[in-house]
A and B are shown apart, each in its own frame.
Chain A
Amino acid sequence: MIKATITVKLKPGVLDPQGEAVKKALHTLGFDEVSDLRIGKTMEVWLSADDPAQAEERVQAMCEKLLANPVIETYSFSVEEGL
């Protein structure tokens, strides 16, 4: 078994209204030092596979085809064995 952890983020420069709202809430709570906050997504994917290199290729294809929208998002991931 191989586990992939995928992070999808909004590209820099793409407005993140959720992040802005949460930042304002933190300011309201007194966390004045928060200068910026951006919200992304983490996905954990378990693959029935043995070869990490091959799994990486598959996960990359998943990101490109569905998990991230290249117009507004970037993605990164790591794979771990035996989880």
Chain B
Amino acid sequence: MRFAVPVFPGSNCDVDCVKAVEEVLEQPVDLVWHTQTDLSVYDAIILPGGFSYGDYLRTGALARFSPVMEGVREAAEKGKLVVGICNGFQILLEAGLLPGAMRRNDHLQFRCDIQLLRVENARLPFTRDYREGETIRIPIAHGEGNYYCDEETLAEIKRNNQIVFRYAGENPNGSVDDIAGIVNREGNVLGMMPHPERAVHRWMGSADGVRFFTSMLKYWRESGAA
């Protein structure tokens, strides 16, 4: 299973994502500069965290028009796996590949902590190695993770089981309905504020992110794409 991690000017979690794929899955993974448009050789794309384009205008608003996003959009349309973590989630929202928008945290502080998440949908390519309703520990590090969507959209994503992770216990940013991560209607594009790539060894404080990656590999093998 071949992974791509696009790098935008200002990305800073790209190497963490590469190391997670290498160390957890031992699968090939390439850092891809934001000017590359053809991602057709990859089976999965991980948009990393960071501050692409300095978060100017709005988080993710400028990265969304990077050439590499053409390849991301194509991959999403073909049903390949696309993950946006933190700033990557913000980019997917701005690109319209996921519904909603991101606002500044309701308390205005940048929050860096290990957070409890509840796995709300364990039937997805990204979550099949978790148990539904399970609580996991994954770090967050963001100032703008306050997910917003209108009531109509919220009703729709609930109806389609598109809410993947909710904050269990304290909500660290004020997001609508305690949302920490969602998928698109088709279930192949996921955005989440917490960082599973930073929770892949016990010495990191949690290894609960391992199963996020193993789920993807399992899905890929079972889907016959291997």
Contact = CB atoms under 8 A, between A and B. Distances in A.
B57 interface: yes
A29 interface: no
Interface string A38-70: 000000000000000000000000000011010
A76 interface: no
Nearest to B153: A71
Interface in B75-134: 93-94, 100-101, 103-108
Contact of B107 (A14, A17, A69, A72): A17
Nearest to A11: B150
A10 to B, nearest CB: 8
A69 B174 CA distance: 19
B162 to A, nearest CB: 16
Given A69-B101, A71-B101, A72-B103, A18 B58 contact: no
A7 to B, nearest CB: 14
Nearest to A41: B57
Interface residues of B, number: 19
Contacts of B57: 66-67
Contacts of B154: none
Contacts, number: 35
Contacts of A17: 103-108, 146, 174
Contact of B148 (A18, A21, A67, A71): A71
Contacts of B101: 69, 71-72
Contacts of B149: 71
B122 to A, nearest CB: 28
A18 B108 contact: yes
B108 A71 contact: no
A71 B61 contact: no
A26 interface: no
B148 A14 contact: yes
Contacts of A69: 58, 61, 94, 101
Interface in B145-177: 146, 148-150, 174
Given A14-B103, A17-B104, A18-B108, 8 more contacts: A15-B106, A15-B146, A17-B105, A18-B104, A66-B61, A66-B65, A69-B58, A71-B100
7 contacts: A15-B106, A17-B104, A18-B104, A18-B108, A71-B93, A71-B100, A71-B148
